[in-house]
Structure 1
Amino acid sequence: MTESTDLAFSVISPDADVIEAQALVIGVVKGDNGPELAPSVLDADSADAIEASLEDLGVTGAEDSLQRLPGYGDEGPGLIALAGLGSLPRTGPGRLDALRSAAGSAVRQLIGLDSVALNLPAETLSEVAALAEGAAYGAFFDPGQRTDEEIRSRRPVSDVAIVSGIDREAADEALARALVLGEAVDNARRLVNQAPNDLYPETFADRAVERVSGIDHVTCEILDEKDLEAGGFGGILGVGRGSARTPRLVKVDYNPDNARKSVALVGKGITFDSGGISLKPGASMMTMKCDMGGAAAVLNAVAAAGELELPVRVTGYLCIAENMPSGTATKPNDVLSMRGGKTVEVLNTDAEGRLVMADGLAYASESDPDYLLDVATLTGAQMVALGTRHSAVMGEEELRGRVIEASERAGEQFWPMPLPAHMRGELNTEAADLKNIGAGRNGGMLIAGLFLQEFVGESEGKKIPWAHLDIAGPAYNEGSPYGFVPKNGTGASVSTLVSLIEDLAD
């Protein structure tokens, strides 16, 4: 179930006498000789007639395309929707990605209908799962604080039937998992979309408690400014010092009795980033409510792990602050004492995310997890390097590879980036143990990763396996919706984190 709607899934046989849905979604593939209708439940005459008219109707089969046709007969769907599948691969992750995207695109674009039947190629359990995940992500609508009743009354599709010959009982687990993932992504998107005068450190902490309430084996602890002061969290306090809204650190812990591994997740939760004293240009502030996307992803990954009852202990650390300029704000050349005792000279207060994350990494390391990951909308350099649809992952080589493999299964795109040892010297300063920016603009994403690496702890004399996920571009979509991705908050990395936790459980 998502906040958008009470979503329900079912699997129906291709041999069903009647498909009771308002719309039947059929796939169109971009073939070598033009668009081709994918196999469907349509009778041969109807299918041939539609296929013969595809080019005349302007149907290309391109990804994210959807054309509507009137239904046929007195019974069954009143609408046929032709969904583009692109050049659908025969096997592999690319095929699942195409199915996931087409299902999400169709459900997203058919907003206003109650029920949809997805008659897209789904002969295996993994293909059914991909369609369900895409539909769960696509069934999203956030009216924000718009008061127009017509807008506020819009509802996404609430009933999705997947047409497949697969055994319905065998699909139950995959469908239930898709609903959990849909809810997690939905919640992360809504948190990112929240206006910063409504979502600030205190209220974000409250929302975290609310999100995990009722999930078995999940507890939530909030550290306020007094706790942070007593605990030596100089990075979080330093970033939040300029705001009237005091910072928080929220620890969300899923600890099942049968846990075989432990994973710590640290999320950047800057509820608004003005840049602080190093003030951003006005145009660059317009999307800075999204700078808590990492913390939103971590919160919902922990919640999903609990709801799926995974045999892994997953502990999330939400590092929450508001970065504002004022007479009390941290200044360039100030030196902060971080959790664990390291000192940092702040030369740019707009490089604040790494400061709160440093405290979180040091704190999470103290619990001696088997794996440690951080997730952050950390650098504009990430978007310069990889654009807006690929996230970056850095860190220990094996864990970095596992993140990439998990992202491929989840339908997200992560790209491996290095942490060059020769660049570490750019963080040296005579005023403290290190400074928070490098010598220039080059390699800014990598410099940030090298900074965070300094705060990863050791276990039995070795660095804890660690990965850094920079999701600055994919976390917030300023363009048009595509596939199952809406405009604004996207919920980036939630499904990858859950897939990784499942992998570690196995």
Structure 2
Amino acid sequence: MTALTLSTSSAATLRADAVVIGVAKGAKGPVVAIGAEAVDKAFGGKLGTVLETLGATGAEGEVTKLPAASGLKAPVVLAVGLGEAPAKGDGYDAEALRRAAGAAARALSGSKKGAFALPVEDAAAAAAVAEGALLGAYAYDKANSGNGGAAKDKKKNGNGPLAEVALIGGKPRDKAYKAAAERAVALAAEVNRARDLINAPSNVLTPASFAATAVAAAKEFGLKTEVLDEKALKKGGYGGILGVGQGSDAPPRLVRIAYTHPKAEKTLALVGKGITYDSGGISLKPAGHNETMKCDMSGAATVFSTVVTAAKLGLRVNLTGWLALAENMPSGSATRPGDVLTMYSGKTVEVLNTDAEGRLVLADAITRACEEKPDAIVDVATLTGAMVLALGTRTFGIMANDEAFRTTVHEIAEEVGEQSWPMPLPADLRKSMDSPVADLANMGERMGGGLVAGLFLKEFIQDDITWAHLDIAGPAFNDSGPSGYTPKGGTGAAVRTLVRLAERTAAGDLG
């Protein structure tokens, strides 16, 4: 994990491998941002002109490296684009700062120390820079893949993540500033924990090993856990989870991991889809769609990391996470299309497509979560390709049985810099899941498939419990190149949204 230090030194005098400054798009060319005054002075006040000569424009995410001028202790200046310069009197958008810091941290991969002299005029801006830099510095440790040699080579060749982020500017001795930095460290560590889990190969991360990881973390952070193995699931009648997992040699698990605060007045339940590998089952996925299906447990990783973050921050809220873990494989014992499963709720479901498995494991976990009567339930899942078609690869959909709650979750996501969009639950689509042999089918109308999946889950929510569903199928795994603070591979999507929701709930501000 990349370390964060708060420095009282000047950007000119701090010793580091590089000093990071911001540059924005101005009306007449690149403009050096606040925080880089000492660096600009070393260039005779002409740093903006030098950068323009090198082709820099200040566009968001643009990175320009140049040798440091005399008088700077760092040998390299790294200028990162912030996008359009704000109007006079306005500060930079927090998300612009996050992305710029992330791009800079990635560009400094293999370095020991980066001095970040980006605009940090208040604690919120400092938190954004710290968060972006720590998330941008992430690199998956190949040792987690069982390839220790690769990990050693990476370290030997100096290709690992930036080791230390030194934050310059602001008020590092201020209590609010320190608290913001500490929150950024805790949050980034847990987003990166989720990324590690998502990136782990499916032969390493099985339902059982994921459950063991949760138990180990619970001991470290004072959380309570309960793990239901295949025998306990059978005894309890968890037909959805068992039905999905019965085709695999790696049996399913249901994990309850809970954080409680003695003064908490509200309880949130989080439910995560944890399909550690999804072949599609008997309804096998076509060629080209299997290679990244280790990421189908991203929802469970998000829930797990959110609960741990709440414990680290000591939030005044009760937070219970449910990890619905299974591997969806085809075999002689696998659930077949046309089979009927009896769910934990007692409802029966006709399985028309075994590749619509996430809703089956979630339904059992949601029913169990409802028994504890939380104030609200949020489930998180890489649930449908239909949501990716609707919203693309960077935006997750939000559905809910309460419009105000859906709006709250959407506003929170936008606040923390996660792209999301509120989606409806059209009642007319429910009829398409009618079944002649069961209470409902796990598939319905093809058009609007992401909404149909949400309607399926709604069938398992008690009427008096507020609920939201986050379909993170698009942003959970990044197949393209890295950008800003988002790496290639697992992203940890929705952790920041759920942590903020927990904080808002702790503050008595649950919508």
* Separation in 2, partners of 1:403, 1:13: 39
Deviation at 1:75, TM superposition (A): 5.0
- SS of residue matched to 1:210: helix
| Match in the other structure for 1:81 | 78
The match for 1:194 among 187, 190, 200 is 200
* Separation in 2, partners of 1:32, 1:18: 31
Deviation at 1:50, TM superposition (A): 2.2
| Match in the other structure for 1:24 | 19
| Match in the other structure for 1:296 | 301
| Match in the other structure for 1:113 | 111
Q: 2:284 aligned with 1:287, yes or no?
A: no
| Match in the other structure for 1:9 | 5
Deviation at 1:163, TM superposition (A): 2.0
Matches within 5 A, 1:106-505: 106-144=104-142, 145=145, 147-148=149-150, 149-153=152-156, 154-170=159-175, 171-216=177-222, 218-395=223-400, 396-439=402-445, 441-458=446-463, 462=464, 464-505=465-506
| AA aligned opposite 2:408 | R
- Larger deviation: 96-105 or 44-53? 44-53
- SS of residue matched to 1:305: helix
Deviation at 1:138, TM superposition (A): 1.3
Distance 1:409 1:13, change over 3 A: farther
Deviation at 1:32, TM superposition (A): 2.6
* Separation in 2, partners of 1:296, 1:409: 22
* Separation in 1, partners of 2:165, 2:54: 26
Deviation at 1:326, TM superposition (A): 0.6
The match for 2:28 among 33, 37, 56 is 33
* Separation in 1, partners of 2:405, 2:7: 36
Contact 1:269 1:293 in 2 (8 A): yes
Contact 1:263 1:372 in 2 (8 A): yes
* Separation in 2, partners of 1:211, 1:306: 11
Contact 1:180 1:304 in 2 (8 A): yes
1:322-378 CA-partner distances (Å, limit 9, x unpaired): 000011110111111111101110000000000000001111000000010000000
Distance 1:455 1:369, change over 3 A: same
Deviation at 1:411, TM superposition (A): 1.4
Contact 2:341 2:349 in 1 (8 A): yes
Contact 2:399 2:424 in 1 (8 A): yes
* Separation in 1, partners of 2:23, 2:172: 25
- SS of residue matched to 2:101: helix
* Separation in 2, partners of 1:88, 1:364: 47
Contact 2:24 2:59 in 1 (8 A): yes
1:10-54 CA-partner distances (Å, limit 9, x unpaired): 14355x772222211111111233222213122536163321122
Contact 2:42 2:69 in 1 (8 A): no
Contact 2:172 2:178 in 1 (8 A): no
Structure 1: which 5+ residue stretches go unaligned?
none
| Match in the other structure for 2:45 | 48
* Separation in 1, partners of 2:92, 2:241: 41
* Separation in 1, partners of 2:340, 2:85: 55
Instruction: Tell me the percent identity.
Output: 48
| Match in the other structure for 1:60 | 57
1:251-280 CA-partner distances (Å, limit 9, x unpaired): 001012111110000000000000000000
* Separation in 2, partners of 1:75, 1:60: 23
Contact 1:37 1:47 in 2 (8 A): no
- Larger deviation: 484-493 or 90-99? 90-99
| AA aligned opposite 2:25 | K
Contact 2:4 2:130 in 1 (8 A): no
- SS of residue matched to 1:491: coil
| Match in the other structure for 1:99 | 97
* Separation in 2, partners of 1:66, 1:74: 22
* Separation in 2, partners of 1:363, 1:93: 46
- Larger deviation: 29-38 or 142-151? 142-151
Contact 1:13 1:165 in 2 (8 A): no
Q: TM-score, normalised by structure 2?
A: 0.94
Contact 2:94 2:128 in 1 (8 A): yes
Contact 1:93 1:409 in 2 (8 A): no
Deviation at 1:161, TM superposition (A): 1.9
Deviation at 1:183, TM superposition (A): 0.9
* Separation in 2, partners of 1:47, 1:483: 30
Deviation at 1:159, TM superposition (A): 2.1
| AA aligned opposite 1:158 | A
| AA aligned opposite 2:5 | F
Task: Give me the CA root mean square deviation.
Answer: 1.7
* Separation in 1, partners of 2:44, 2:228: 61
Contact 1:236 1:359 in 2 (8 A): yes
| AA aligned opposite 2:209 | T
Distance 1:264 1:192, change over 3 A: same
1:287-335 CA-partner distances (Å, limit 9, x unpaired): 1000000000000000000110001000000000000001111011111
- SS of residue matched to 2:45: helix
Deviation at 1:169, TM superposition (A): 2.9
The number of residue pairs the alignment matches comes to: 495
Contact 1:93 1:408 in 2 (8 A): no
